[in-house]
Amino acid sequence: MTVSRRTLLRTGLALAGAGLTTTACSSDSGSGGKTTLRFAWWGSEERAKLTQQVVDLFVGKNPGVEVKTTYAAYDPYFQKLATEMSGGNAPDVLQMGDRYLREYAERNTLLDLTPHLGTQVQTADLEKKLFPAGNIGDKTYGLPMGQTTHVLQYDAKRWEEAGAKLPADGWTWDDLRESAAAVSAKLGPKVSGLSDPFGIEDWFGDWLRQQGRDLYTADGKLGYTEAEVIAWWKLGVRFREAKAITPPEITANTTLTPFPRKESTAEFCPDSTVGMTSWETYGSPFALTPFPTAGTGIGQFTQPPMMLSVAQRTKNKDVALRFADFFINDPEAGAILGMARGLPPNLKIRETLAAKLTDEWKMVADYEAKVSPQLLPAPPPPPKGAGVVKTQFQRIYDDVMHGKATPEAAAPRLMSEIQQALGA
């Protein structure tokens, strides 16, 4: 399986697909008097296949309605969506990412779903911790399409062979460094203990939350300081000096992450991607554990990997809402989608699916159940420009990773670019 490193970490899935269509926002009726909806999403071909099956099921149950579907890879999807939103011809129903929801909602391009919750869109069986991710103030603009959290997946067998201490409740970043270094010493130089996590803003966010901070405040302001960026990247330097993490030439490979290539024995990731790497393909079972801690708690939260939104300018609002409700609440739809977008947001559907999961996905479900009491609610959507910040974080860390800049020199550059991106 080919998984793009940065795209996977940005979206929770390896992405492939075709470009979006450019037809205008749907009219009240299409050919033959049918009501026509446009539905767009990003995702893999496997996700596209399952999603199309749900669309076909909806159409079969709703005579007189047709749904035109389009999907793309993450970056092309949002590039095209920006053009469509600006031109007033957005899809009626669309998959939305947390990095863009606030921007589009504040531009009045997404429908406020609040008046329709509990009536046209049922919410009683949905996981309530997920809702803040789609809310801005007291209004809801995105419905959860799944549930995920962060995880460290690791090859317990190889750790044991290397004599490394296995993860345990309350373990620390120092514990992780020592164990990963032990693995590198035993299995290196071609295998490292841990895939380098220090250029990934998401993992920085978990580390911040362990200390009572966050990437962004509730009102969309930057939640950390230059000093905290320096501390995080200096932690990375200590990992690198201990040879605990993958070297730059391995980390920089954007075709496939080191863990499935077996060039590292542990890797942070969204747990919605774990089941994509089958034990048969990998060669042996692997294990899941929460993040090590630097303070209080694990710093992780429950989040939807993506949300379902309705365009403000749709001419078929009632049908669009019916489709959105069907997608997240219909038992047959849930059975088809399975874990394609992480754990189903509908708890009854999730319970029904539990007995049918593969070993890999059962491991994910069991992990979520175990860490659930420690998980924070989903944070509100980040501010406009947050997607740019995520890219800048990785790009500037690359200089630290390659030894071209110290954390003390790189962090001010990052903060300056963040101010520009956020308009601060």
pLDDT along the chain (424 residues), means of 10: 38 34 42 85 91 98 97 92 93 95 94 98 96 94 97 95 93 97 94 97 96 91 97 98 96 84 94 77 86 90 96 97 98 96 96 91 93 90 91 97 98 97 84
pTM of the predicted structure, to 2 decimals = 0.85
Q: Distance between CA 209 and CA 126 in Å, rounded?
A: 25
Residue the block writes with tokens 């919605």: 272
Residue 73: both structure tokens together:
């890879």
Q: What are the C-alpha distances in Å from 281 to residues 110, 158, 267, 330, 341?
A: 41, 16, 17, 32, 21
Max CA separation in the chain (angstroms): 69
User: Both tokens of residue 215?
Assistant: 């990437």
Q: Enumerate domains of the chain plus CATH numbers.
A: 5-146+307-369 (3.40.190.10), 150-300+385-422 (3.40.190.10)
Is residue 341 exposed (0-12), middle (13-18) or buried (19+ Cβ within 10 Å)? buried
Distance CA 65, CA 115 (A): 24
State how far the Cα of 298 lies from the Cα of 288, in Å rounded to an integer. 14
Q: Residues 422, 383: contact at Cβ < 8 Å?
A: yes
Amino acid residing at 147: Q
Q: Identify each DSSP E strand in 307-371 by its residue range.
A: 307-310
Kindly tell me the sign of the dihedral angle through the C-alpha atoms of 237, 238, 240, 245: negative
H or E element at residue 144: strand 143-144
Residue 210, CB half-sphere, CA atoms under 13 Å: how many?
20
Give pLDDT, residue 3.
38
Neighbours of 277 (CB within 10 A): 19
Residues 65 and 319 sit within 8 Å (Cβ to Cβ): yes
Contact of 388 with 421, CB cutoff 8 Å: yes
Contact indicator for 167, 286 with CB cutoff of 8 Å: no
Q: Are 249 and 346 in contact (CB under 8 A)?
A: no
CA distance 229 to 176: 20
- Give the integer Cα–Cα distance in Å for 308 and 141: 8
Position 12 scores a pLDDT of 35
Amino acid at 288: L
For position 387, what pLDDT does the model report? Answer: 86
Q: Which of 348, 370, 313 is nearest to 149 (CA)?
A: 370
Q: How far is CA 13 from CA 3, 4, 159, 265, 283, in A?
A: 8, 9, 26, 20, 21
Distance CA 87, CA 329 (A): 32
